[in-house]
């Protein structure tokens, strides 16, 4: 079985895709992860799964404009228009590249329901298309409002809030429609924009790549929706930690990890100063990751703070006392699997949802949004995470998450779907 997995952007989106690709490979299948070339340096350690698309994709404009979108109101709407204006010219090129990859031989397309057009590729090839969900953003459910919604609504309105996620792709749909007709040669059909519908109108199969212990399965979801557990990549074969990092970790009490992945604000130098000040207040050792610009680690380092670049989280997090991060789905999943408490400093999109979820589960204090991050607030949050309650609950939840082996469960489901030609029941 040849499986194509388009990954839309950040490391947090790419990590689960690589975990699934590895599980497919181990089961005797051929997996291709199509991602933006900026991700290739990180992904190359995980095997020959990656095909690079374009240069940077949406990462930089999303970081620049995304925080403006979360403000809501007129300014939020104007920011959405600005983001679409920036992304649309590059989108057609990326879609054409993706079609070139898919046309070389694909038996199943697994796609995020965003703007990459995966379900159109599946339709053109006549193969099953499967939606993968890294967060509960698209499949409407009555027990939980859309995670992108930052306000409480009456329970009876919960299902309607999921139209918000569909609306995120609206500025790009005319571009995708034109590509569908011109490049793929597909005719117009009802509900062609809905990634959760097969061409025959039936529900497309959906794999929730998260744990039922973290987000319970929706009580009103149909049999086409399966929650597998998180897809967490392991440590790449043959990878060894830099000697200085290994020596630092072994040289004292377990340190705290601080890193914000591919997210960055307008003042990454100020964020570095805030982090350092908070760590000094607590007098804890720390491993700080620079990510893709989230922290500008200029000077002022100290003996008990070790700065790293890309290090596999699956190796690093279990060796930490706590993990401070931005709340991306992939990073949250890896921290959960490591069984360590967390501090979530969300920027935008689904990150506030994961921060609140970690707090409700008792493995993290209340989220500390990046827009209001201060040294005292961060120090207080890290101190709270290191107390007995979060430490014990994180260890217990980590055992449950690891036992699910979500990527292997997803492979078994995909094999059955391929045998049935995409029937999702």
What is the CATH number for 100?
A: 3.40.50.2000
Q: Is the pLDDT of residue 165 over 70?
A: yes
Range scoring the smallest mean pLDDT among 12-21, 121-130, 395-404: 12-21
- Which residues are paired to 110 by β-bridges? 130
Question: Given this model, what pLDDT does residue 221 score?
Answer: 87
Pairing verdict, β 50-53 and 30-36: parallel
> Do 64 and 107 fall within a single domain?
yes
> Do 130 and 10 fall within a single domain?
yes
pLDDT tens, residue by residue, 178-228: 999 999 999 999 999 999 999 999 999 999 999 999 999 998 888 999 999
Q: What is the mean pLDDT of the chain?
A: 86
> Do 189 and 129 fall within a single domain?
yes
Question: Given this model, what pLDDT does residue 423 score?
Answer: 60
Q: Does any domain span residue 236?
A: no
Q: Does any domain span residue 117?
A: yes
DSSP class of 371: G
Q: Please name the helix (run of DSSP H) or strand (run of DSSP E) that holds residue 323, with its range, or none.
A: strand 322-325
Separation of first and last alpha carbons in the chain:
20
pLDDT tens, residue by residue, 323-365: 999 999 999 999 999 999 999 999 888 899 999 999 999 999 9
> Do 214 and 310 fall within a single domain?
no
User: What share of the chain has pLDDT > 70, as a percent?
Assistant: 84
Question: Given this model, what pLDDT does residue 2 score?
Answer: 96
Question: Given this model, what pLDDT does residue 237 score?
Answer: 83
Rg (alpha carbons) of the chain, rounded to whole number:
21
> Do 223 and 254 fall within a single domain?
no
Q: Is the pLDDT of residue 43 over 80?
A: no
Q: Does any domain span residue 199?
A: yes
Q: Is the pLDDT of residue 167 over 50?
A: yes
Q: Which two tokens stand for residue 182?
A: 């011109």
Tokens 């983001």 -> residue: 83
Report CA 86 to chain centroid distance, whole Å.
Answer: 22
Tokens 């979801």 -> residue: 221
Evaluate whether 233 touches 299 at the Cβ level (below 8 Å). no
Q: Is the pLDDT of residue 414 over 50?
A: yes
Question: Given this model, what pLDDT does residue 42 score?
Answer: 63
Q: Is the pLDDT of residue 38 over 80?
A: no
Q: Is the pLDDT of residue 388 over 90?
A: yes
Within 8 A by CB and 6+ apart from 147, the residues are: 135, 136, 137, 350, 352, 353
Q: Is the pLDDT of residue 55 over 60?
A: no
Distance of alpha carbon 320 from alpha carbon 127, whole angstroms: 43
Question: Given this model, what pLDDT does residue 87 score?
Answer: 73
Q: Helix 329-338 to helix 11-26 angle, to the nearest 10 degrees?
A: 60
**What are the E-state strand segments in 220-302?**
225-227, 256-258, 286-289
Q: Which residue has the higher pLDDT, 68 or 205?
A: 205
> Do 126 and 223 fall within a single domain?
yes
Q: Is the pLDDT of residue 421 over 70?
A: no
Question: What are residue 143's phi and psi, to 5 degrees?
Answer: -90, -10
Q: Does any domain span residue 238?
A: no
Q: Does any domain span residue 237?
A: no
Q: For the chain, what is the total number of helices (H) and then of strands (E)? A: 15, 12
User: What share of the chain has pLDDT > 90, as a percent?
Assistant: 60
Q: Please name the helix (run of DSSP H) or strand (run of DSSP E) that holds residue 337, with its range, or none.
A: helix 329-338
> Do 219 and 248 fall within a single domain?
no
Q: Does any domain span residue 234?
A: no
Q: Is the pLDDT of residue 56 over 60?
A: no
> Do 255 and 194 fall within a single domain?
no
Question: Given this model, what pLDDT does residue 268 score?
Answer: 58
Q: How confident is the model at residue 241 (pLDDT cuts 50, 70, 90)?
A: very high
* 83, 227, 262, 340 from 215: Cα distances, Å: 30, 9, 24, 18
Range scoring the smallest mean pLDDT among 57-66, 87-96, 228-237, 329-338: 57-66
In three-state form (DSSP H/G/I as H, E/B as E, the rest C), the secondary structure along 179-214 is HHHHCCCCCCCCCCCCCCECCCCCECCEEECCCCCC
Q: Is the pLDDT of residue 376 over 60?
A: yes
Question: Given this model, what pLDDT does residue 420 score?
Answer: 78
> Do 379 and 321 fall within a single domain?
yes
Distance of alpha carbon 303 from alpha carbon 280, whole angstroms: 11
pLDDT tens, residue by residue, 277-307: 999 999 999 999 886 555 656 654 568 999 9
Question: What are residue 18's phi and psi, to 5 degrees?
Answer: -70, -35
Distance of alpha carbon 378 from alpha carbon 202, whole angstroms: 48
Q: Is the pLDDT of residue 12 over 80?
A: no
The total domain count for the chain is: 2
> Do 125 and 190 fall within a single domain?
yes
pLDDT tens, residue by residue, 92-132: 888 898 999 999 999 999 988 877 789 999 999 999 999 99
> Do 166 and 248 fall within a single domain?
no
The arrangement of strands across the sheet holding 342-344 comes to 305-308, 286-289, 256-258, 322-325, 342-344
> Do 337 and 414 fall within a single domain?
no
Q: How large is the average pLDDT for residues 21-33? A: 94
Q: How large is the average pLDDT for residues 82-96? A: 77
CA quadruple 95, 99, 100, 105: dihedral positive or negative? positive
Q: Is the pLDDT of residue 58 over 70?
A: no
Q: Does any domain span residue 305?
A: yes
- CB-based burial, 361-391: b 16+ in 10 Å, e otherwise: bebbbbbbbbeebebebbbbbbbbbbeeebb
Range of the domain at 337: 243-403
Q: Does any domain span residue 188?
A: yes
* Secondary structure class of 379 (helix, strand, coil): helix
Question: Given this model, what pLDDT does residue 86 score?
Answer: 72
- Which residues are paired to 197 by β-bridges? 203
The residue length of the chain stands at 425
């Amino acid at each position: 079985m040849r499986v194509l997995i388009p990954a839309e952007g950040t490391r947090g989106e790419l990590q689960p895709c690589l975990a699934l690709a590895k599980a497919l490979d181990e089961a005797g299948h051929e997996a291709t992860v199509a991602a933006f070339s900026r991700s290739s340096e990180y992904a190359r350690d995980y095997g020959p799964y990656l095909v690079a698309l374009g240069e940077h994709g949406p990462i930089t404009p999303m970081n620049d404009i995304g925080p403006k979108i979360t403000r809501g109101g007129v300014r939020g709407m104007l920011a959405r228009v600005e983001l679409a204006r920036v992304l649309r010219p590059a989108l057609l090129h990326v879609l054409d590249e993706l079609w070139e990859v898919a046309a070389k031989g694909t038996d199943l397309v697994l796609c995020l329901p965003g703007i990459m057009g995966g379900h159109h590729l599946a339709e053109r090839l006549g193969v099953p298309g499967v939606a993968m969900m890294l967060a509960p953003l698209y499949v409407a459910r009555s027990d939980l409002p859309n995670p992108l919604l930052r306000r409480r609504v009456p329970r009876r309105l919960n299902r309607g809030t999921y139209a918000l996620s569909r609306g995120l792709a609206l500025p790009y749909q005319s571009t995708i429609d034109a590509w569908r007709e011109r490049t793929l040669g597909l005719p117009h059909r009802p509900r062609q924009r809905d990634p959760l519908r097969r061409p025959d109108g039936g529900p497309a199969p959906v794999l929730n790549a998260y744990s039922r212990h973290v987000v319970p399965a929706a009580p009103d979801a149909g049999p086409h929706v399966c929650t597998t557990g998180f897809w967490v990549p392991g440590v790449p074969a043959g990878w060894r930690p830099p000697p200085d990092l290994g020596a630092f970790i072994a040289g004292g009490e377990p340190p705290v990890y601080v890193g914000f992945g591919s997210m960055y604000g307008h003042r990454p130098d100020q964020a570095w100063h805030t982090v350092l000040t908070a760590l000094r207040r607590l007098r804890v050792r720390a491993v700080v990751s620079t990510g893709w610009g989230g922290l500008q680690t200029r000077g002022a380092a100290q003996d008990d703070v070790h700065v790293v670049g890309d290090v596999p989280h699956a190796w690093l997090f279990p060796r930490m006392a706590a993990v401070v991060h931005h709340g991306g789905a992939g990073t949250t999943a890896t921290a959960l699997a490591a069984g360590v408490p967390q501090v979530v400093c969300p920027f935008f999109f689904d990150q506030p949802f994961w921060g609140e979820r970690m707090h409700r589960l008792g493995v993290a204090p209340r989220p500390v949004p990046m827009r209001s991050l201060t040294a005292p607030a961060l120090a207080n949050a890290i101190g709270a995470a290191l107390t007995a309650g979060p430490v014990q609950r994180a260890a217990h939840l980590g055992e449950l998450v690891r036992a699910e082996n979500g990527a292997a469960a997803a492979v078994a489901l995909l094999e059955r779907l391929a045998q049935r030609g995409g029937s999702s029941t």
